[in-house]
Chain A
């Protein structure tokens, strides 16, 4: 990928570290988006450098803030613990043994649960706010997502060809530029990640996309603006 000027000047973010704070927020956001609902319990297993310096870099607050749908540039990240208490989300951080060979140094496993469902996701922050999702519910996948520079859409859909074409059509009608896409397929279901630039979808638009045939769910990894 070609480097943009805004890889150098940007992203606008909350300190102190782009990989340990901005990236961590994004992993939390992905977990929450895939969970589809409000969790009551959140468990974080921290590996490698996440496990050793997470307090100093506020990785714990950042992860929790992400799970509560805060932005990478939201000053409220500081108060993540208090917000979680207000919302009634119980959280636990478990620093794990130093990284095993299969883990990147900055890796976290997030387990979200409520009475109805449970989700486990493994993500790594690989520098400058870019993250990688390597496991969802113990199934190995490989998806890269950039924090701060792009808005991200997660789309779950049936594993059929051309099922996404009407969705792309709608996005183009709304004037939303697509900067990149990745798809991961497993048997009948697929997960697609879209990076869209300078365009944040509004809630009714997301709901409209969800109604298209073959689409199971659409999640926007940014605060949905209600009108």
Chain B
């Protein structure tokens, strides 16, 4: 096995040794480990890329609400806002990326076809950042594909180093956090960054997502998932910018993954995709739960009363 890696340190060593980019190492690893030809691997990724684009196109045009009406129609609003850029503070790339992220996740909530990247709940970040930058740079389709390979390679390194992408195990940091890290690495390679800069961008991104709770209202993948995808697009773009400007993460990537798992082990079960804590047990959250006809939450998880001041009554 010449191209196998189990963490980002090994990945960077391989890149240096063979003078290859992260995406090239990733393709070779896939060919070697799973006995595929290069066209097979590339075609499979092309299918994912095309499906992502279809999802985004559908999402930004649709104003349909999801089944329980918690989300829907926001992607169109943000995308239409692009026509009037001088009203906004943000760059066009970031605003367009936010529209794309919401589009993907609204499609997900409406039961449309999506590509889980790394999971369904965090599926918006990677395609949004990559496609928006792709359009801005007028980049080639080939580069777009390589960026997807780089993003996936960083994800593989996180998983192989003992990380997780399951929110039931590690909270939202495992879904959005990993998605943001993947997006940061991919977009950095698309912009011509070195392998070190790509991994560094991923580190900066993941480091600043640590500790995120997974507390969706009524267990639906809608609130806060849809808008969280949009907000964390900015983290990925910011991390890529910082990395290309020479800002280095003080803690290396592999140790950040260990930190993520340490936090996951100590995380309270109510904020690990059970809908028994955080936003899910706010007044608004409980109202939705009632409307859907779900059982009330067990006493153990009910919010504690806040004290004796009684000002709110």
Give the interface of A toward B (CB within 8 A): 2-19, 21-22, 49, 52-53, 55-58, 61, 73, 75, 77-78, 105, 127-129, 177, 179, 197-198
Q: Does B110 sit within 8 A of A, measured CB to CB?
A: yes
Q: Which of B107, B153, B168 contacts A15 (CB 8 A)?
A: B107
Tell me which residues from 113 to 162 in chain B have a Cβ below 8 Å from any Cβ of chain A: 113-121, 126, 148-149, 151-153, 155-156, 159-160
A15 and B112: CB pair below 8 A? yes
Q: 14 A-B residue contacts at CB 8 Å?
A: A3-B156, A5-B41, A5-B45, A8-B118, A9-B45, A12-B51, A12-B116, A15-B111, A16-B222, A56-B219, A56-B292, A75-B111, A78-B111, A128-B166
A18 and B111: CB pair below 8 A? no
Tell me which residues from 46 to 91 in chain B have a Cβ below 8 Å from any Cβ of chain A: 47-48, 51, 67-68
**Residues in A neighbouring B310, C-beta threshold 8 A:** none
Q: A16-B120, A53-B218, A56-B220 are in contact. Are A8 and B112 (CB under 8 A)?
A: no
A12 and B34: CB pair below 8 A? no
A128 and B111: CB pair below 8 A? no
Question: Nearest residue in B to A5 (C-beta to C-beta)?
Answer: B152
A16 and B109: CB pair below 8 A? yes
**Residues in B neighbouring A6, C-beta threshold 8 A:** 44-45, 48, 152
B112 and A75: CB pair below 8 A? yes
Provide the bound-state CA to CA distance between A58 and B221, in Å: 11
B30 and A56: CB pair below 8 A? no
Give the interface of B toward A (CB within 8 A): 4, 26, 29-30, 33-35, 40-41, 44-45, 47-48, 51, 67-68, 107-121, 126, 148-149, 151-153, 155-156, 159-160, 165-166, 168-169, 182, 218-222, 274-275, 292, 294-295
Provide the bound-state CA to CA distance between A61 and B152, in Å: 31
**Residues in A neighbouring B155, C-beta threshold 8 A:** 5, 7-9
B275 and A12: CB pair below 8 A? no
Given contacts A5-B29, A7-B159, A15-B111, 8 further A-B pairs with CB under 8 A are A4-B33, A6-B152, A9-B115, A9-B155, A13-B113, A49-B219, A128-B165, A179-B34
Question: Nearest residue in A to B115 (C-beta to C-beta)?
Answer: A12
Q: In the complex, what's the smallest C-beta–C-beta distance from B236 to chain A, in angstroms?
A: 15
Q: Which of A19, A52, A75, A179 contacts B113 (CB 8 A)?
A: A75
Binding site of B, secondary structure by majority: helix, strand, loop or mixed?
helix
Q: A5-B45, A9-B152, A17-B121 are in contact. Are A73 and B113 (CB under 8 A)?
A: yes
Q: Which of A7, A12, A14, A75 contacts B47 (CB 8 A)?
A: A12
Q: In the complex, what's the smallest C-beta–C-beta distance from B254 to chain A, in angstroms?
A: 15
**Residues in A neighbouring B156, C-beta threshold 8 A:** 3-5, 7-8
**Residues in B neighbouring A57, C-beta threshold 8 A:** 219-221
Provide the bound-state CA to CA distance between A16 and B109, in Å: 5
Question: Nearest residue in B to A54 (C-beta to C-beta)?
Answer: B219
Q: Which of B34, B115, B149, B160 contacts A10 (CB 8 A)?
A: B115
Question: Nearest residue in A to B154 (C-beta to C-beta)?
Answer: A8
Question: Nearest residue in A to B155 (C-beta to C-beta)?
Answer: A8
**Residues in A neighbouring B35, C-beta threshold 8 A:** 177
Q: Which of A2, A17, A73, A78 contacts B221 (CB 8 A)?
A: A17
Q: In the complex, what's the smallest C-beta–C-beta distance from A162 to chain B, in angstroms?
A: 25
Q: A14-B111, A78-B111 are in contact. Are A8 and B159 (CB under 8 A)?
A: yes
Q: A12-B115, A15-B112, A16-B111 are in contact. Are A3 and B221 (CB under 8 A)?
A: no
4 shortest interchain CB distances as A-B pairs: A15-B108, A8-B155, A53-B219, A5-B152
A12 and B33: CB pair below 8 A? no
Provide the bound-state CA to CA distance between A177 and B47, in Å: 20
B108 and A16: CB pair below 8 A? yes
Question: Nearest residue in A to B68 (C-beta to C-beta)?
Answer: A56
B116 and A13: CB pair below 8 A? yes
Q: A55-B292, A177-B35 are in contact. Are A5 and B26 (CB under 8 A)?
A: yes
Q: A17-B221, A49-B219 are in contact. Are A9 and B109 (CB under 8 A)?
A: no
**Residues in A neighbouring B117, C-beta threshold 8 A:** 8-10
Q: In the complex, what's the smallest C-beta–C-beta distance from B26 to chain A, in angstroms?
A: 6
Provide the bound-state CA to CA distance between A225 and B171, in Å: 40
Q: A127-B166, A128-B119 are in contact. Are A5 and B149 (CB under 8 A)?
A: yes
Question: Nearest residue in A to B221 (C-beta to C-beta)?
Answer: A16
A14 and B113: CB pair below 8 A? yes
B48 and A14: CB pair below 8 A? no
B218 and A10: CB pair below 8 A? no
Q: In the complex, what's the smallest C-beta–C-beta distance from A52 to chain B, in angstroms?
A: 6
**Residues in A neighbouring B48, C-beta threshold 8 A:** 6, 9-10, 12
